[in-house]
Structure 1
Amino acid sequence: MDTEAVRSFVRAAELGQLRHAADELGVTQQAVSKRIAALERELDARLFARTPRGVELTLDGQAFLPHARSIVTGADRAVTAIRPGSRALRIDVLGLRSAQAVVLHAYWRSRPETDLDVVTLRVEDPRAAASAVRAGEVDASFRSVTDPAALGEDVRMIHAFDSPLELLVGPKHPLASARRLTPARLRGHRIWVPGIAPLSEWADFYDQLVTAFGLRVDAAGPNFGNEVLLDILADSADVATLVGSRDRYLWPAGHDLRRIPIVNPTLAYPLSLLLPRADPHPGLRPVVEHLASLAPLPGTVWRPSWALSPGPLPTAPTV
């Protein structure tokens, strides 16, 4: 089996577009397409369904992906075994427009010589991300395992940074003119957050948020992606959503959406970093030090019960 074809499949699965996979691999989109087509012929299975926005995994593709990652990891380890220190630091984020990716980009801009590979594992259960760290598929993952006992002895979790929430609304919403909002002012308003997956850390976060402040968080309906959500907000007089202050969202100028900070208390989504206890990648230490340098949130802050201490991150040799 051609490992470069398997690698092309994995990157396309993680990024959702053949063009992006080609850019990261340093080859043409046609080359990636041919590699994947050859792999599909060899497996006698269709791995991707083509869509207007890119590619999506078929059921066979979903079944093959974890094994494909293992093949790529094994090949990388074989290379690393004879060229120590040559492998890029591989860190998992929830999405390339997420707060984690924004913070990592800021880190990389301050150290452009860093060989950094930012990936999205596309797993919703953070325990699966912990397993990927344990198996060496990634060097670290920005996920929070809300039950520390599920981490095991070979993976540890440290506080990375807090992401304060903002209310995102369209111009017709009754709260659209507010410059700041308290959690109490959100009561009674429909906060639509599609795609809250069972067992995910964000499902537990929203459960605790609703209980603490009596909010109406609605996860009903399928998640058709951010573009559809933004279109709905632009035309709605009663639907809002919550976003992280560092999360990147792009919308047409005509949407006139507003991001409104929430204060007294600030609602903080705590972001953690999963990393191996033994033999971490040497590039992790400066990343952890960068996270430790981020300014803490001012004022009163609400966090869920499982949030780790937002104090200084460790910079001991074990990182």
Structure 2
Amino acid sequence: MTRRAVIIGVGHYLPERVVENAEFEAKLETTDEWIRSRSGIERRHFAAEGETTSVLATHAAKAALADAGCDADDIDAIVLATSTADFTFPSAATMVQAALGMTKGFAFDVQAVCAGFVYALSNANALILSGQAKRVLVIGAETFSRIMDWTDRSTCVLFGDGAGALVLEAQNGEGSADDRGLLSTDLNSDGRYKDLLHVDGGVSTQSTGFLRMQGNQVFRHAVEKLASTANTALDRANLTASDIDWIVPHQANIRIIQGTAKKMGLSMDKVVVTVQDHGNTSAASIPLALSVGKLRGQIKQGDLIVAEAIGGGLAWGAVVLRW
């Protein structure tokens, strides 16, 4: 028998405020058509005043726990992926732990920007495989609206706020690719490309800073690296692209999503797409898409899924799992 980390619950949360592309037309030299044609984004959600990342994460966590039929006391660990935590410390994960009334176990944040949820899943998988935890709550949550330069039309129209969460449980499998749960992971980073996507501030510089992105350069790296990491993860699970039921990619840009699918030889009919409604929610985008995909009836038990993402660092990776 082989120990597997199996998804038993999923949920998400989006702030109430919906911002359509047209709202930017009055403030910036841009149009709805310009934004849609370059990104595929039609709208996004922005957090309300006082609605912090841990608040969004807690809502998503409660939804995932309800879907799993679990209570907070059933969870051994929380791994939260975010680049926009409420405070420098403590971690947003411990704040979610307190909000859920969870007094045992442990909680920590993972910071790998848009690739954060893939990194968090990999860490949670390791906790389960090593026997350190039986059930892990894995969350991606962001409030990127708080680090936007509202005069930069090339970036501020692309991002949104939200949160998604999964509950992973240790279960026994046969050790084959037919098992439910996480089958393989692949993680990568290359710090030489820091300037392509970064925030120009932080604790050591005593400033908050704004998100800065060289969009064309990020695009150039994204398609190649996403297809490569997905194929590597498939190889590790002794699977090929033809075995995939769904790709659930980081929802950054429809052209990146389309380019990656094409490079992998897959139809867009096999891709879960939510970027039009959420924008780029960074570490929250994959769990958001998984939750929405399940609600739409796209993702069903037994489906083979590849989730892949790339973000600042550059950091990128993929996870192969069976739902």
Length-normalised TM-score, structure 2: 0.26
More strand by share: 2
- Kindly indicate whether structure 1 or structure 2 has the higher relative contact order, using CA contacts under 8 Å at least 6 residues apart: 2
Q: Which has the larger radius of gyration?
A: 1
Length-normalised TM-score, structure 1: 0.26
